Structure 1
Amino acid sequence: MREFVFTVEYEKGANEVMDVFIENPDLKARTMAVHATTDAMWRLDYLTGPTEALEEFDQILGSVSICNEVIGMCGAPVVEWDYEILSSTADSRIVYSCREEGEGVQSIPHVAAKHIGNGLLMQAVRRGSQYQWRLLVDDEETVGTIYEDVHDGLSDGLSLSVQRLSEPKCWFEDELDVDGDELPPEQQAALEAAVEFGYYESPRRNTVQDISNELSIPNSTLQYRLTRAEAWLARQFVSNSLGTEVEERSDPTELELSA
């Protein structure tokens, strides 16, 4: 088997759902499961981010006018589809969606299923302007046909790039999680501001609300960035001090079930 990783990048204004991700760099979505046949595609997406960004996502989800990232990748009029928010917290959502495949451009999972057939396995992550997909394929000929179909189906404002075609890496590691190895710039900036404004001093010189007012960003956004940055620092500290790798468990969907 080979691992095929490619990214569809969106210009601002090209897609109403991706615009929410572009405007909210802390918002992230990854597939928990995706399945496709020649007739339909259905999936579960796990989203994390500040409260305001998730609320904005909720609103756009209920009023989409074109086929978009929740249900596909094209810019054609919306086909028959349905969605349900299965879980909702202040900083996360689990969203179920199902769409029928219509004429013209189909969803990326539909394109992959058409060429791979039974045994389709794929993952995807959305963040900022990028929507990255990872598929398991059994031959390079299949890679070429999938690439051509996806490329030919891109609407205006979308571009396609290939990251790699290689031996499969461990799919149990969230390799597409940009929070894994490096601290994202937004979280680093939040941490630096918190130190500068004396948030970690005793007694504190400023609260999160005070700092968010100074930075002109929502309080919940700053709190979210600080929480994620602190979790990252804690994992780095423990990993370095114990000489072991620490697996992130902030996502309840990633917990393994024990017998």
Structure 2
Amino acid sequence: MREFVFALEYESGTNPVADVLDAYPETTVRSLSCHVTPESLWRVDHATGSPEALEALEEAYRDATYCADCLVKDDCGAECEIEVLDRSNDTLVVYTYWARTDVCTSVPHLALEYLGEGLLFETYREGRRYRWRIVLAGDAPIHAFFDALGEEVGECTGMEMLRLTELDPEHSSGDADEWDSLPDEQQRALRAAVEHGYYETPRTIDLSDLADELGIPRSTLSYRLRRAEAKLATSFVEGDALETVAPEL
């Protein structure tokens, strides 16, 4: 088995959900499930954010021009079913389903066509960035799929191949697993902090200047760094504790 990770970057005005996420940087969406057949697609998404952001996000899901993951830029003619499964002040869980028309296509449908059945999909969205993780058979033609995807998304959506790795539990790295489990925005914040000398002694950049470099509020950057640091520090301490030799009785 292999895992293939890539990201799409939507231009302004090309995707209603991306537009809302870009307007509310603290709002994120991750998939709880995503399933595809040649004729249909259905999924459940879990979003977190402020009440205002989630209200705007729900409206985007219900936008008549939006059909979850459909890559057709003009009206594809598909009827998209939207159902809110859970709604609170900071959480929105949305079920979407659509039956495919002759012109419809999507990332999962292309994956099914090029990579075969038995695929596992995981997605994460923040801002205009949409990260996909697909677990697939080892001999599937990844590059053919990625080329076909590039033809479908056209010039309105950027594409980036992030990772293609073998899934080998006996040789996996715990540190790498923890890093990969961090959301994209936390990974980018940590990379930028290291590259700009935020963790040097003395620091060569302060938090405010680093936030300006990234084009995000200082509070947002501080929150992302704290969350990432807490995750990695906890993992390190727990791993170190497992390796500690028990005292003699």
Q: What TM-score, normalized to structure 1?
A: 0.67
Query: Contact 1:8–1:131 (CA<8 Å) still a contact in 2?
Result: yes
Deviations 1:152-196 (A, max 9, x none): 1114421211112112378x96725236667689xxxxxx89xxx
Question: Alignment partner of 1:4: what SS?
Answer: strand
Question: Alignment partner of 2:234: what SS?
Answer: helix
Deviations 1:2-38 (A, max 9, x none): 1111111111122222111121111111111111000
- Counterpart residue identity of residue 33, structure 1: S
Equivalent residue, structure 2, for 1:13? 13
> Alpha-carbon deviation of 1:137?
2.2
- Counterpart residue identity of residue 126, structure 1: R
Of 77-86 and 140-149, more deviation after overlay is shown by: 140-149
Equivalent residue, structure 2, for 1:145? 144
- Counterpart residue identity of residue 121, structure 2: M
Equivalent residue, structure 1, for 2:184? 178
Equivalent residue, structure 2, for 1:73? 71
- Counterpart residue identity of residue 165, structure 1: L
Structure 2 residue 61 is matched with structure 1 residue 61: yes
Query: Contact 2:122–2:134 (CA<8 Å) still a contact in 1?
Result: yes
Q: How many corresponding residue pairs? A: 207
Q: Could you list the runs of 5+ residues in structure 2 that have no partner in the other structure? A: 193-206, 209-216, 240-249
Q: Could you list the runs of 5+ residues in structure 1 that have no partner in the other structure? A: 186-191, 194-216, 246-259
State the alpha-carbon separation in 2 of the partners of residues 109 and 138 from structure 1: 15
CA 1:236–1:118 in structure 2 vs 1: closer, same or farther (change >3 Å)? closer
Query: Within 5 Å, which residues of 2 pair with 1:173-252?
Result: 175=181, 177-178=183-184, 232=227, 235=230, 239=234, 243-244=237-238
CA 1:51–1:137 in structure 2 vs 1: closer, same or farther (change >3 Å)? same
> Alpha-carbon deviation of 1:140?
5.1
State the alpha-carbon separation in 1 of the partners of residues 233 and 8 from structure 2: 36
- Counterpart residue identity of residue 238, structure 2: T
CA 1:15–1:156 in structure 2 vs 1: closer, same or farther (change >3 Å)? farther
> Alpha-carbon deviation of 1:50?
1.6
> Alpha-carbon deviation of 1:73?
3.2
State the alpha-carbon separation in 2 of the partners of residues 29 and 103 from structure 1: 29
Query: Contact 2:69–2:107 (CA<8 Å) still a contact in 1?
Result: no
State the alpha-carbon separation in 2 of the partners of residues 228 and 94 from structure 1: 24
Query: Contact 1:75–1:155 (CA<8 Å) still a contact in 2?
Result: no
RMSD: 3.3
Query: Contact 1:46–1:95 (CA<8 Å) still a contact in 2?
Result: yes
